[in-house]
Amino acid sequence: MNLFLLLPEISLIIVGVVIICLDLLVGEENKSVLGYLAFIGLIFPLALTLALAGRNESSFGNALVIDPLAIFFKVLFLVAAGLVILASIDYAQRLPIMQGEYYALVLFATAGMMFMASTRELISIYISLELTSITLYILAASIKNDAKSGESGLKYMLLGALSSAGLLYGMALIYGSTGTTVLNDVAAAISQRGVTAAVVLGLVFLAAGFGFKISAVPFHMWAPDVYEGAPTPVTAFLAVASKAAGFAVVMRVFATGLGPAHGIWPSVFAVLAAVTMTLGNVVALRQDNIKRMLAYSSIAHAGYMAMGVASATTSASSGIMLYLAAYALTNIGAFVAIIAFSNRLQSDDINDYAGLFRRAPLVSIGLALCLLSLAGIPPMAGFISKVYLFLAAYEAGLAWLVVLGLFNSAISMYYYVRVVRVMFLKEPSARESLATSANLGVALFVSVAGLLVLGIYPSPVLQAATQAAQVLFP
């Protein structure tokens, strides 16, 4: 019962509760103070997480585990949450969003994700997943009186509930076959008793349930509508942190828990990867709403990362984590730029982005760099992370998937370059320059600087990712 290991999450939840309490005391005009407080409050969990780095302990009967994998993802979630909160402050002021609760919910969702990354036991996985998901459902619907936002929240909740049910059924099957919910013991039991039909069925349900979380095809249908309708900072949070948490859990459950079934689930994920990346890229070609386009692009990127899951090796897993780090910075940067533009343009249509380079040069360049990083152009981080992941997949024998991935990357260039083209080459509809608030500027700058540094000097992050991956495949 080592509570010390839980301190990051505990401190994060305390900060959230404090924000809710302060919300009662703070007047309507000063709500942004809560945002800044939430941002600063993230320092505590971050410091505590880094203080726990380097350990390899478990507690609460293996329900909580602190190892390099957990630390990597916790840091990722906290950084993402910080940038999202910073980006939300002006957005939240403009729209009828309940502000104190908004920031607190973001913090609670982060806490849920941090739990998800550091547990080795099925029930805890489910509980932390629900904590994350339910807060995200509320956040998606948080623009009051907006039909799209309500629709996105409802859709997310209904489909999420359905997939959670499937997930729980899969967990029940696994428990029934093995008699335990702790992943290490599950693996031992399966290798002892063999891979039975029940285990395979459970595996399939688990893949389906987690597939919803990572928006893999055919469980992706919620993503475009939810991404489009939710408030853009929440979309950014969903696209980045929730997906990363999904992958953290997928890697743990399948690599650690279902390791002995390694003849089955890699092929399942290989097929999932192939379909996901292709569908995501092809449908993104036709999107006119930039949030929907990024939704389909994030589906495609989930496909690339699923390729890493299918490879089932240490280097592939570290590739997924490097990819997630690059993907997090890139997507947050892109969404921050979109928030900056939509704040002034009141539109998310790509055609309304015409000539924005003339009106907001720095933000346009930032958005362009993020989009080009998603396309895999050097020297941004997207390039090196893609190369590393593809190489790991090739080494694992998935050459066909690598070739498919490369052609998909080439296809994806079109829709990313299309936005760049509209911003840089078309004439703007008005001439006055678009001011951007300082918060958004800082968030964009940090993201873009981060992805350039990661692209040019990935070694430290790669080192951390490799250590984390060795937890899964020693």
Partner 1 sequence: MSGYLTIITFLPLLGAIVTALIPGRNERAVKFSAAGFSLVALLLSLVVAVQFDPSKSGLQFVEKLPWIPQLGVSYFVGIDGLNLPMVVLTTLLTLLAVLASWNIKPNPKEYFALILLLEVGILGVFVSLDLLLFFLFWEVELIPMYLLIAKWGGPRREYAAIKFVLYTLAGSALMLTGILALYYASGAKTFDMFELAKTPYATLYGAAFQTVVFFLLWTGFAIKLPVFPFHTWLPDAHVEAPTAVSVILAGVLLKMGGYGMIRINMSLLPGAAREYAWLLGTLAVISIIYGAGLSMVQNDLKKMVAYSSVSHMGYVLLGFAALTSLSVNGAMLQMFTHGTITGLLFLLVGVIYDKAHTRQISDFGGLATKMPFYAVLFTMAGLASLGLPGMSGFVAEFLVFVGSFASLPWLTAIGAAGIVITAGYLLWMIQRVFFGPLVPKWAHLEDARGLEAVPLVCLMAVVILVGVYPGIITGIISSGVAPVVAKLGL
* Residues near partner 1, by CB under 8 A: 315, 318, 372, 376-379, 383-384, 387-388, 390-391, 394-395, 399, 402-403, 406-407, 409-410, 413-414, 417, 420-421, 424-425, 458-459, 462-463, 466
Tell the smallest beta-carbon distance from residue 142 to partner 1 (Å).
37
Tell the smallest beta-carbon distance from residue 463 to partner 1 (Å).
7
Q: Which is nearer to partner 1, 241 or 371 (CB)?
A: 371
Tell the smallest beta-carbon distance from residue 406 to partner 1 (Å).
4
Q: Which residues of 387-425 are buried (b: 16+ CB within 10 A; e: fewer)?
A: ebbbebbbebebeebbebbeebbebbbebbbbbbebbbe
Q: Length of the chain, please? A: 474
CB-CB neighbours of 133 under 10 Å: 22
Q: Which is nearer to partner 1, 96 or 407 (CB)?
A: 407
Q: Which is nearer to partner 1, 230 or 371 (CB)?
A: 371
Helix then strand then coil, % of the chain, to nearest 5: 80, 0, 20
Tell the smallest beta-carbon distance from residue 447 to partner 1 (Å).
19
Tell the smallest beta-carbon distance from residue 66 to partner 1 (Å).
24
> Encoding tokens for residue 257?
């828990």
Q: Can you tell me the distance from the alpha carbon of 62 to that of 184, in angstroms, rounded to the nearest whole number? A: 9
User: Which is nearest to 408 in space by CA: 290, 314, 264, 306?
Assistant: 306
Tell the smallest beta-carbon distance from residue 461 to partner 1 (Å).
11
Q: Which is nearer to partner 1, 65 or 462 (CB)?
A: 462
Q: Which is nearer to partner 1, 4 or 394 (CB)?
A: 394
Can you tell me which residue has the tokens 């290991």? Answer: 5
Tell the smallest beta-carbon distance from residue 431 to partner 1 (Å).
14
Q: Which is nearer to partner 1, 77 or 383 (CB)?
A: 383
Tell the smallest beta-carbon distance from residue 335 to partner 1 (Å).
21
Q: Can you tell me the distance from the alpha carbon of 98 to that of 38, in angstroms, rounded to the nearest whole number? A: 15
**Count of alpha carbons within 13 Å of 417, Cβ hemisphere only?**
8
> Encoding tokens for residue 319?
């590739």
1 burial via Cβ count (<10 Å: 0-12, 13-18, 19+): exposed
**Count of alpha carbons within 13 Å of 458, Cβ hemisphere only?**
24
Q: Which is nearer to partner 1, 119 or 364 (CB)?
A: 364
Q: Can you tell me the distance from the alpha carbon of 132 to that of 150, in angstroms, rounded to the nearest whole number? A: 18
210 burial via Cβ count (<10 Å: 0-12, 13-18, 19+): buried
Tell the smallest beta-carbon distance from residue 404 to partner 1 (Å).
10
E strand or H helix at 358: helix 356-359
Q: Which is nearer to partner 1, 274 or 420 (CB)?
A: 420
Tell the smallest beta-carbon distance from residue 226 to partner 1 (Å).
31
Q: Which is nearer to partner 1, 165 or 425 (CB)?
A: 425
- Note whether 272 and 312 are within 8 A (CB): no
345 contacts: CB under 8 Å, gap ≥ 6: 352, 353, 434
Tell the smallest beta-carbon distance from residue 433 to partner 1 (Å).
13
- DSSP line for 44-62: HHHHHHHHTTT--EEETTT
